[in-house]
Amino acid sequence: MTVPRSRTFAQVDVFSSSPCLGNPVAVVLDGTDLGDEEMRRLARWTNLSETTFVLPPTTTAADYRLRIFTPGGELPFAGHPTLGSARAWLDNGGTPRNSDHIVQECAAGLVSVRCGEGTLSFAAPPLVRDGALDEEYLDRIVAAFGIKRDRVVAHQWVDNGPGWAVVQLPTAEEVIALEPDLSLVPTAMVGVIGAYPEGAEHAFEMRTFAPGVGVAEDPVCGSMNASVGQWLTSTGGAPSAYRVSQGARLGRAGTVEITADEDGTVWVGGAAIGYIHGTIIL
């Protein structure tokens, strides 16, 4: 067991420039010498979607290494914790090796993070699984969502590590109206997206359900938006740049910016603002 000591701690709100309307992440800025169970215990205690631990990198190509935990276990990659941890690292005096971007090491590999005017954005990691969902799994999702099969416009595996699948409904309003029964899909990691009318402030509304890792609904999910962005921009389902709203049903007001470069790299960006700075005894 690690001898408890004071460690620098931050809590960062991601994907909203308005206080307390995004998705918070807890960040321990010195995770050195903490064991797996100690990290899991803190993640259960904070009861946020994710809690992260910043560690020295194992490669000279990275600025730091990140471990990411939900209340239910560890993830190889996650989006809003990537941006929130980068913001906390910068606020704590971190200096990137490269002047124009940070390189984060995590279990999924190396992730680039750009520093923009008031925002951060990460390069979407490659998918580990894609393609259409099998009909049996899709039927279970449809049943859990309490909708008819013909309301599903499209569906896809969009797994960049956590196990994501997504279904697309015709409208944002239908997405917001969902009252899912997650007991029917207790191990699922699934999102749902629907379009707003042309000319609206946001192109889509997104919701993300992750009972498989102990999170009923993630307020604003960067990794899901990353992989869905790769899917939609590569198939013509969305333009190369668009905005997603997420969190309305949870009283949040998240905005996620998706941009696809000419080489196909998808960047996922938004505000990341530190609201809690201090120490934690671990």
Is pLDDT at 94 greater than 90 in this prediction? Answer: yes
The Cα 156–Cα 161 span in angstroms is: 15
User: What's the whole-number average pLDDT of the chain?
Assistant: 96
Residues 236 and 141 in one domain: yes
Q: Looking at the DSSP assignment, which residues form a beta bridge with residue 208?
A: 191, 218
Res 100: pLDDT: 87
Q: Does any domain span residue 1?
A: no
Q: Does any domain span residue 216?
A: yes
Res 116: pLDDT: 85
Residues 259 and 145 in one domain: yes
In this structure, what CATH number is given to the domain that contains residue 47? 3.10.310.10
Is pLDDT at 1 greater than 80 in this prediction? Answer: no
Residues 139 and 257 in one domain: yes
The C-alpha R_g of the chain, in whole angstroms, comes to 18
The Cα 9–Cα 172 span in angstroms is: 37
The Cα 116–Cα 222 span in angstroms is: 17
Residues 148 and 75 in one domain: no
List, in sequence order, every beta strand (DSSP E) within the chain. Answer: 6-14, 23-28, 51-55, 64-70, 73-75, 101-106, 109-115, 120-123, 154-157, 165-169, 190-195, 204-210, 215-218, 241-246, 254-260, 266-270, 272-281
Domain that holds residue 141: 135-263
Residues 256 and 274 in one domain: no
Q: How many domains does the chain have?
A: 2
Residues 248 and 153 in one domain: yes
Query: How is residue 123 written in tokens?
Result: 């390069």
Res 177: pLDDT: 98
Q: Rounded to an integer, what is the distance from CA 93 to the centroid of its chain?
A: 24
- Residue 83: pLDDT band (50, 70, 90) is very high
Is pLDDT at 178 greater than 90 in this prediction? Answer: yes
Instruction: Give the tens place of pLDDT for each residue, 204-233.
Output: 999 999 999 999 999 999 999 999 999 999
Q: Does any domain span residue 130?
A: no
Residues 232 and 274 in one domain: no
Residues 76 and 40 in one domain: yes
Q: Does any domain span residue 257?
A: yes
Is pLDDT at 118 greater than 90 in this prediction? Answer: no
- Residue 198: pLDDT band (50, 70, 90) is very high
Instruction: Give the tens place of pLDDT for each residue, 129-154.
Output: 999 999 999 999 999 999 999 999 99
Q: Does any domain span residue 180?
A: yes
Residues 147 and 242 in one domain: yes
Instruction: Give the tens place of pLDDT for each residue, 221-267.
Output: 999 999 999 999 999 999 999 999 999 999 999 999 999 999 999 99
Look up residue 185 and give its amino acid: V
> How many Cβ atoms are within 10 Å of 29's Cβ, its own excluded?
23
The Cα 191–Cα 227 span in angstroms is: 11
Residues 197 and 104 in one domain: no
Average pLDDT value for residue range 159-173: 96
Residues 62 and 86 in one domain: yes
Catalytic residue set: 50
Residues 258 and 276 in one domain: no
